[in-house]
């Protein structure tokens, strides 16, 4: 669909090429997620009672 959209100045081949290399565009997202997950695991380990907290509206 994007290849047929006149507002997108790329051909379908160019769009497919970009999407096939999408892993090149994530930067440090993977390591950042791993770090965040470790931090959450540490907090859960220190405060296991927090697992029973039910979220609610703040305002």
pLDDT tens column, 16-58: 999 999 888 888 999 999 999 999 999 999 999 988 889 899 8
Q: Decide if 58 is inside a domain.
A: no
Mean pLDDT to the nearest integer, 1-12 = 84
Count of structural domains, the chain: 1
Which residue, 59, 58, 41, is CA-closest to 50?
Answer: 41
Domain extent for 28: 2-52
Q: Decide if 40 is inside a domain.
A: yes
Q: Is the full-model pTM beyond 0.85?
A: no
Mean pLDDT to the nearest integer, 4-23 = 89
pLDDT value for 39: 96
pLDDT value for 5: 83
Compute CA 7 distance to the chain's CA centroid, rounded to the nearest angstrom: 27
CA 40 to CA 9: how far, in whole Å? 43
Q: Decide if 59 is inside a domain.
A: no
Q: Residue 3: pLDDT above 90?
A: no
């Amino acid at each position: 669909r994007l290849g047929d959209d006149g507002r997108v100045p790329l051909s379908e081949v160019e769009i497919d090429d970009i999407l096939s290399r999408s892993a090149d565009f994530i930067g440090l997202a993977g390591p950042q997620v791993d770090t965040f997950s470790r931090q959450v695991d540490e907090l859960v380990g220190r405060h296991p009672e927090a697992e029973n907290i039910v979220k609610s509206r703040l305002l």
